[in-house]
Each structure stands twice: as C-alpha cells, then as structure tokens.
Chains A and B, each alone.
Chain A
Amino acid sequence: MLEIKPILSALWRNKIAALLIALQLALTLAIVSNASVIISDRKEKTARPTGIAVEDIITVNFQPVSQNYDMQTAVAADLDLIRPIPGVVEATHSNHFPLSGSGSASAYYNQPSQETGGEVANYYQVGAEFIQAMGMKLIAGRNFDPSDIQVADLTENRESSVVIVTKQFAEKLFPEGDALGKYIYGDRSSHPIEIIGIVERNLGGWVNWSKAGNAVFFPEMLIAEGNLFMRYLVRTEPGQRDSVFNQLEEKLSQRDPHRVIEMDTIENFLHKSYSRDNTMIKVLSVVIGLLTFIIALGIVGLTTFWINQRRKQIGVRRALGATRAAIGRYFLLENGMIASAGIALGMAAAQIANRMMVESYGQPQLPLPTMLSCALILLIVSLTAALVPALRAANISPATATRNV
C-alpha cells in the first residue's frame, strides 16, 4: 500500500530540505531542457547536407607577385596542369570558396528594375566545370558549357546571360516551382539572366547565415586588376585528397614560382565554420552532465541524511511489520514525490525560460517531447540516486527499535 499521505505529512514538517531539492531539480530541468534544445538545434544545423563533396575538395588561392600578370593564360595553364594529376576528378576556378565564411551576396528579382521584394543569394563567379568540381547534383536543366564563360573585372558590370541556382533559391523566387528557363535580374537591373540549371543544394559561404542555401552561380572569371588573385577548387577521388594535396602544391609552385600559394580543404573550412556550434554542443553537454551529476549527488546526500536521521524510525517501522521492500519503497516514493514536484515546477520554469530565449536570442522553441524526455530522464536519475540509500535503509534491522542509541 502506497503511503502517500504519511509521506506528505512527513515532508511538510521537513519542507525546507525537500523544497531545496525540488527547486534544484526544477532549475536543473529548466536548464537541461533548454540546453538540450540548443544542442539538438546545433546538431541539426551541423548535420545539414552541404550539397558538395566536402571531404574530397582542395582549395587553392594564389596571388602573383607581378602586377602585369596574364591571369587568363595562367588559369588555363594551371587547370591543364592539375586535371591530369592521378586522383583528380575535376578542377575549376571560382571567386569564393563555399563554406569558407567569406563570399559575396546580392539581391535578385524575378522582374526587371526592382529594388524590393527580391531574394538575397550568395553569388559565385565560377568556371564551366564548377558543378562537377564541387560534386553538386544538377536536378534540372543543363550545366554550363565553356562558351557561357564571361571574363569580367571589378570595374565592369557582369554581363552573364545564364545562371545556375540552388533549388532553395529557385523555390523562393519562383514559388510555383517553374524557375527553370525563367529570368532573374540584379538590383535595379533590366539585364535578364536565364536560369539554365538548378542544383539540389549548396549552403554557400556562410553556414550561420539565415539564408544559407540561397546561392547562384554565374559562368564568369573575375579578374580584379590591381588586386590580382585567383581561386581553384580541385575535387579528388574519395580518399585521394591528401596525396593530391602534396603533389598539387609542388606542381603549381614549379610551374610558376613567382606567386604566393595558399592551400586548404573544404573539410577544414567546414570545421572552422561550425567550430562555435561544436564548442557550444560540447560546453552544454558538459553543463547537462555536471548538473545531472550534482542533482544526483544532492539526492544521494539528502536521502542518506534523512535515512541516518530516521534509523530508529525505520527500525520501528520494521518492528511494526514493514518488510524490507516496504521500507525501500517508502524512500523511493518519498524521493519520487519530491522529484515529481520539482519536475512539475521545472517544466513551467523551462517554458518561461524558453519563451525568453526565443524572444530575446532567437533560440528555437522547446518542443514538448524534448521537455518530457528531459523530465523523464531526471526522474529516473533521481530515483536511481535514491536507490542505494533506500536499499541501505531497507537493510536496517528491526532490532534498532529496541536500541537506546
């Protein structure tokens, strides 16, 4: 028979200690459930598909020493040098590296000469082989061909007449789903740019951007006079990236030693881009672990203290007919009642805290299943923490009732 009423009476007369544990549990639940939402959100974010072959792409960035550098010829020579290297799948030039944390963005419209109502997208000026070099999936339309390529510098307007866009961007600008073959326009521009292809996905340069995934690719080579630089993206066979990396550096330096070459990998960029998220996940996981450990310790401590205080009482209960199981059940139930009160309070606190975080920091909303899961886990932790002292209490001899000490 469950002794709820006597336990409530006993707790009412020892309410400060019970209240402290309940409040600690409530606070723990409020923190743990909101931290879990943040962790889950960050995990979801870092696990998003990038749409590109992250692990197989090498990036090359170079700046020639000479200001009178024939960039167009150099690019053609470099790419001719890179492509035959064993393990290389494709190579291309690009004005920016996806996932690198840098890039350019502009607003695009589905009508000419607009200033508002468009959609902002990361834009890239890329070689004809960009789709293959990134390992992207073309889901509609056609790829670029070499005749599409325009050479541009920073002083002149781009004159591309074709563009490949991501599916996300296409759906935003053309919600009817009929973007292929339609025209987009730059800010206040009447120059039509035809969407010739749609790729499944590309997160673009900034993973933390709210519009990450809006990306457009123009078949252009940007030659910035006075600030000459060029970027290549080299995709390798799976597992060949590191060996190609070493050869690439050597061959490019040999072909033209009068330039500064920096090389990296898209995988490395991705790690850097998500480093804050990953750190947040680790820190919050440690916080959750520590809080759970502390609450478990608190419960073990309090239950042990109460049991030691009530040794004689336990002996009396045993003498009056309580079985070992009844004593163990009593303390588990007592703990369960405190935990339940704390958890009920904690659920309300978690909701209030979450509302504030949503409004003030744009954090995700706390879903009910997440909160209930955290509550259940804390209840299990509480009962498990109380189990060892409760078992010790169950082993107190009924003869304790007749002892004077």
Chain B
Amino acid sequence: MLKMHNIRKSFRTDTIETHALRDFNLEVSEGEFVSVTGPSGSGKTTFLNIAGLLETPTGGQYLLDGQDVSGLNDRERSRLRNEKIGFIFQGFNLIPDLNLFDNIDVPLRYRGFNAKERKKRIEKSLEQVGLAARAKHLPAQLSGGQQQRVAIARALAGEPRFLLADEPTGNLDSLMARQVMELLEFINEWGTTIVMVTHDPDLARRAHRNIQIVDGQVSDLHQNALGNEAATA
C-alpha cells in the first residue's frame, strides 16, 4: 500500500539546514494497522505529511498503492489525497461554520459526486460513527469524542483505502480515546489500511505493528500481538 525508499526531507533557512527525515525506509501492506511513535521532533509529523501527500520529500521514492507520486503536480496530488487517503487529525479539524452533514460533504464535493450520492455516503458514514441524529448540529455542539467521530466519518465517507491518523486521541479523555480507538480497529477490520501517529504506548501496542522514529529514521519495528494474530489469520 505504502512504500518509502530512502526518503529525505530537509528544511533550510538562511543559515541552518534541518534534516527531518533521512534515508527513511518503510513499507506498509494493504490492510495493515501501523502505529508510529517517537519523541517530539523525531520526524513523525513530517513522515505523516509526506505519506499523506501534504508535503513533497526532498529526495527518495514514494509509491502509494503502487504509483510513484514524486512527479505528480498539485492537481494530481490533490486528487490522490481525495480518492485514496482519509485523514484524522489530532485537533479534529472540523470546519466550525458548517454542520456535521456539510463538514462530511467537503471532500465529497471535491470528488465531484452528485448530491444524491453525497447524501447517501454522508448518512452512511454518520451512521457508522453513531451520529446520524446529529447531522444538522454544529461541531461546537458536540463533545471532543463526538467531534473526532465526525472527523472519522468525514475520512470514511470517501471510502479511502488508506487512513492516516495524527494523534487521533491526543485531545480526548481515556474513555473517549478508547471509543475512538475501537472505531479505528473496526475500520481496519473492514480492510482499510491505517497508519496512526501516537504518543500513547498503550494505543501503539494495539496496532499490528509499531514503528519508532528517532532522528528522522525508523529506529525500531515491533510486531505486536494483534499483528501476529492478523498475520496468522
């Protein structure tokens, strides 16, 4: 699903060049649930941005679903993001002026679906996260956990093959965090590949595989129990 080979990313100011990722190599198979951990400033977010086509690497090769994305222009990258990748952000990143229905509608409009198709998908995804009755509510009228579920519904509505989650439980209490994590596990069971950046070792352990990034490189790979089970299954 995702294959990164010798990915480099550096940021340059007038005097300093910072290497966020150095010779970064990673392969994620279809249907996997991979957690990414590492200390602050290790390059987790840069990895996530490159994986999600939000930033371009300085060097190296990145294949997403078998397609080399290095030479794609903005329009092609936007289309790929829209069609293949779902995003879940730490701060939920819902649009405060739009109700839940319209928030989920945002990526579907960019996809070019007609109104009927969009409505069907929005209702289905809200159903999946248990918020069908709140479609006309504004994000501010929901709890943090509910907002994150809406964000997940927005990510799911486009039926992406690949879900990128950036600290999805970072702003939630433990109960909400558990509910969100369970939801992600369900989604993964339906076949969606998930890469989740987290600081929480307990959550990281619940993924099939945990990758630790230190100083812009993959420093450690752990096959978790669930991963073994999945592999065995």
- Which A residues contact B (CB, under 8 angstroms)? 1, 3, 5-6, 9-10, 13-14, 312-313, 316-326, 397-399, 401-402, 404
Contacts and interface: CB of A to CB of B under 8 A. Distances in A.
B97 A316 contact: no
A399 B55 contact: yes
A316 B81 contact: no
B49 A402 contact: yes
B112 A323 contact: no
B210 interface: no
B81 A402 contact: no
A316 B48 CA distance: 14
Output the residue of B74, B110, B154 with the most chain A CB within 10 A: B110
18 contacts: A1-B109, A9-B98, A9-B99, A13-B96, A312-B93, A319-B52, A320-B106, A320-B110, A321-B82, A321-B83, A322-B78, A323-B75, A323-B78, A326-B78, A397-B55, A398-B53, A398-B81, A404-B91
Contacts of A398: 53-55, 78, 81
Given A1-B112, A322-B78, 11 more contacts: A6-B102, A10-B97, A316-B95, A318-B78, A319-B52, A321-B78, A321-B79, A325-B75, A398-B55, A402-B89, A404-B90
Given A321-B110, A321-B111, A399-B54, A316 B82 contact: no
A9 B136 CA distance: 12
Contacts of B154: 320
Contact of B107 (A320, A324, A401, A404): A320
A401 B97 contact: no
A14 B96 CA distance: 11
A321 B98 CA distance: 17
B20 to A, nearest CB: 11
Contact of A323 (B74, B87, B95, B97): B74
Chain B interface extent, by class: 35 or more
Contacts of A316: 89, 93, 95
Interface in B19-52: 45, 48-49, 52
Nearest to A403: B45
B95 to A, nearest CB: 5
Output the residue of B75, B82, B93 with the most chain A CB within 10 A: B93
A313 B107 CA distance: 13
B87 A10 contact: no
Interface in B76-122: 78-79, 81-83, 87, 89-91, 93, 95-99, 102, 105-107, 109-112
B54 A401 contact: yes
A14 B97 contact: yes
Output the residue of A10, A319, A402, A404 with the most chain B CB within 10 A: A402
A59 to B, nearest CB: 71
A3 B108 CA distance: 11
A273 to B, nearest CB: 59
A401 B74 contact: no
Contacts of A312: 93
A399 B9 CA distance: 14
B87 A401 contact: yes
A276 B89 CA distance: 66
A321 B53 CA distance: 10
A324 B73 CA distance: 11
B157 to A, nearest CB: 10
Contacts of A324: 74, 78
B11 to A, nearest CB: 11
